[in-house]
Structure 1
């Protein structure tokens, strides 16, 4: 008498198989952010108002492009270029988080993605008080946010060990802070916290005052004069400023989490170098291109760049091969 065949497991659906435990689609979110940031950089390089910008400003859009030697337009695109760089850097860090620590079930990576995502996606609300709704930004948020939230929920049960938020408080290594690698790690952490703070400042400024004195000096205009050109111009610029601030804060938090909790590795060092290179190159490099070279305005960015480069150099994996794996 033949033995009964063992029951076969119910096959996975195609979507479940492709999504895996949530990690793959989180990687896809990181890739989407990187591509979105690249698209923002491309649009900023074109130095043309976008169709929804023109529709929002109305008949005065063409006048604004030529006002004050084009400095209003240049100012807007300096925020947009910096925003693009910050989004690319954030996307790169998300991909590393999803493909390495989260793949290994490390809870701290999940919490870093949650915190960074909350900062990034919620900044969309910061400028709505001015009455401007960016359709493109809104559409991208509406497409990415549900995927991001759903895949975080799907990946949570696959975490190993303690899933508590306290996991982010435990450093990855007990490196002596006075050692070369310890000093490098400290420099990277300070740079990350500086980005986080600067992001918050930009969000607050974008949601309230919109401009700092150096901005108005560069454009050689007052807020009243900008409002005279178009009452819709300031809300549009507020959107750019708040959006950049949110992206910068999100990137700063992801950077701090990766440096503090991530096990030192060549892969981590490489993604930090790539993300920091893109972020600082766009945030600083756009200023001389448009003639906005106020020393006080650029000093914090150069200080952050100095700390970041020093941190990377001091923790270079080839010089600390014993502390870096794979």
Structure 2
């Protein structure tokens, strides 16, 4: 659930649902998507949240794809554990786990003013039996930190928990408050347990425990320390705790911070002051599921240097691929505004353009409108291809290369659509053959385009809140084009005409077929070709909207602005030129144009902001 769907669509009504119903609805829903065939790929497609390989780190004998994890407070029932490993997290906390179920008498409360959550104390636990059931279902993709809950400090209880949980745990977390009266238990646990032990301590009692527990770090009974926010929701206090650890000579001890992160800047401050890992708590809920991705992109930006930027020369082949499509679109536009019917069309129809015009002027105009909209769509697609190549693939952006490949392959397969009615346009065939080598060479030459995007976004600014709506507009626009392309392609290979088409032409398809049996195949070929082009361009718009919205990426805004003009101009103005202005027929185009303009307005402040905020 990316931010563009969470904030505008889901969060408003989830917040008013009773109790934990909204939380469980979302978590179970995401988990259900992950376990179905293709579900993981769908989540990756919609969010593209896989962290950059540059963020990988090793700690506690485990490998982390990202230093950002999720606190067990967010998913106490483990109903979304599998899904969370696909949302950009490098590790996931489970628990606290107790021997028996513990339903807290308190409930988590959401403060609308501060956008923070006050979690119950003690935290709820589903018990060891249910935890084991859920962990067995979970396909481990990220390290699992299991927090133990032993209120009675019974050594046998501790051994029971660790024995059952050890196969699933990469790290065990124990809370200082449960061991402060029996410190020896920690050494016993460290001796009997095969997994690293991390001590969790609330930041407000940090000084109280440091002198008492420092020897355990030197003997390595405790492998790391976790600083809990204790419902203060203050990043500054957590930073002070990290500084205290350094002052007490524990700077080399691995440090994890749980909570206090509501925007990427908070996480960066914690990392800068010595945190090795951070766990998101209520910030994940208030800022949205896109927060781990935003942190990963901001962290990558902070680690990157200008010297790291290496251009891939293979981008030029993709650019040329787009340029050839641009030339083809311009040529098609010129034909649609002049000859309309080409000589080989006339040869297939066995009639001249003048005869067709004499038969029914609107029929020729209708064919012109099909070919002009195809030309406009081709030109728009070409602009997006060229922009993705120059500004994305050129700098090794994996998402830009992936977008080009998916859209191009879809476009190539579209040639199969317009041969179903017995008319193969040889010019299209030649165009296909000319394009293919440029595309294949581009694929071959850009295999090293594996970089993840980085972003200068650090804060939950007003521009960021607006761009979520702007991104949603372009996602809707892309989906609309994809659906429109499928519908038009289907019509082009089946019924050919819709009711408004027949109303404009004033001749039923059966009559047209009786007049000239080759005429409908020519029209079908145009319709299917346009549908295929619209589907391909729709995928380009959709993938650029899903994956390319990073702060400062003004080229994305320019791509949408410039790329949209040819398609909308050809798709709307053409109808007025030929007099085909039926409102219901043009309604989808009007809707798309409105969404397009709103998206541009809402997105510009964010995409044009190059400062780190």
Question: Of the candidates 410, 413, 417, which is equivalent to residue 119 of structure 1?
Answer: 410
Q: Quick one: distance in 1 between partners of 2:364 and 2:534?
A: 22
Does the CA-based 8 Å contact 2:365-2:578 persist in structure 1?
Answer: yes
Residue number in structure 2 paired with 1:250: 536
Residue number in structure 2 paired with 1:147: 438
Residue number in structure 2 paired with 1:322: 609
State the shift of 1:65 in Å. 2.1
- The more displaced of 147-156 and 306-315 is 147-156
Residue number in structure 2 paired with 1:274: 562
Secondary structure of the residue aligned to 1:132 is coil
Query: Is 1:210 equivalent to 2:496 in the alignment?
Result: yes
State the shift of 1:131 in Å. 0.8
Residue number in structure 2 paired with 1:297: 585
Kindly provide the CA deviation profile for residues 101-127 of structure 1, in whole angstroms up to 9, marking residues without a partner as x: 111112111111111012211111102
Using a 3 Å threshold, how does the CA distance of structure 1 residues 151 and 314 change in structure 2: closer, same or farther? same
If each structure's helix is expressed as a fraction of its own residues, which one has the higher value? Answer: 1
Q: Quick one: distance in 2 between partners of 1:123 and 1:270?
A: 28
Residue number in structure 2 paired with 1:14: none
Query: Is 1:80 equivalent to 2:356 in the alignment?
Result: no
Using a 3 Å threshold, how does the CA distance of structure 1 residues 61 and 32 change in structure 2: closer, same or farther? same
Residue number in structure 1 paired with 2:465: 179
State the shift of 1:323 in Å. 5.8
Q: Quick one: distance in 1 between partners of 2:456 and 2:415?
A: 33
Residue number in structure 2 paired with 1:237: 523
Does the CA-based 8 Å contact 2:317-2:441 persist in structure 1?
Answer: no
Off by >6 Å, runs of 4+ in structure 1: 170-178
Query: Is 1:160 equivalent to 2:450 in the alignment?
Result: yes
Does the CA-based 8 Å contact 2:456-2:611 persist in structure 1?
Answer: no
Q: Quick one: distance in 2 between partners of 1:268 and 1:301?
A: 22
- For structure 1, the residue ranges without an aligned partner over 5 or more in a row are 1-19
Does the CA-based 8 Å contact 1:171-1:261 persist in structure 2?
Answer: no
Kindly provide the CA deviation profile for residues 18-64 of structure 1, in whole angstroms up to 9, marking residues without a partner as x: xx742111101111111111111111111441111111101365422
Q: Quick one: distance in 1 between partners of 2:455 and 2:471?
A: 11
Secondary structure of the residue aligned to 1:160 is coil
Q: Quick one: distance in 2 between partners of 1:207 and 1:271?
A: 32
Kindly provide the CA deviation profile for residues 271-290 of structure 1, in whole angstroms up to 9, marking residues without a partner as x: 21011111111111100110
Secondary structure of the residue aligned to 2:351 is helix
Does the CA-based 8 Å contact 2:322-2:386 persist in structure 1?
Answer: yes
Q: Quick one: distance in 2 between partners of 1:211 and 1:120?
A: 22
Query: Is 1:198 equivalent to 2:488 in the alignment?
Result: no
- For structure 2, the residue ranges without an aligned partner over 5 or more in a row are 1-311
If each structure's strand is expressed as a fraction of its own residues, which one has the higher value? Answer: 2
Residue number in structure 1 paired with 2:573: 285
Using a 3 Å threshold, how does the CA distance of structure 1 residues 323 and 249 change in structure 2: closer, same or farther? farther
Does the CA-based 8 Å contact 2:332-2:372 persist in structure 1?
Answer: yes
Aligned residue pairs total 297
Q: Quick one: distance in 1 between partners of 2:478 and 2:392?
A: 19
Does the CA-based 8 Å contact 1:47-1:73 persist in structure 2?
Answer: no
Q: Quick one: distance in 2 between partners of 1:172 and 1:284?
A: 37
TM-score (norm 1): 0.85
Higher relative contact order (CA 8 A, sep 6+): 1
Q: Quick one: distance in 2 between partners of 1:258 and 1:149?
A: 21
Q: Which entry has the higher C-alpha Rg, 1 or 2?
A: 2
Residue number in structure 2 paired with 1:188: 474
Q: Quick one: distance in 2 between partners of 1:146 and 1:53?
A: 27
Does the CA-based 8 Å contact 2:378-2:533 persist in structure 1?
Answer: yes
Q: Quick one: distance in 1 between partners of 2:535 and 2:391?
A: 22
Q: Quick one: distance in 1 between partners of 2:456 and 2:582?
A: 39
TM-score (norm 2): 0.46
State the shift of 1:161 in Å. 4.7
- The more displaced of 122-131 and 143-152 is 143-152
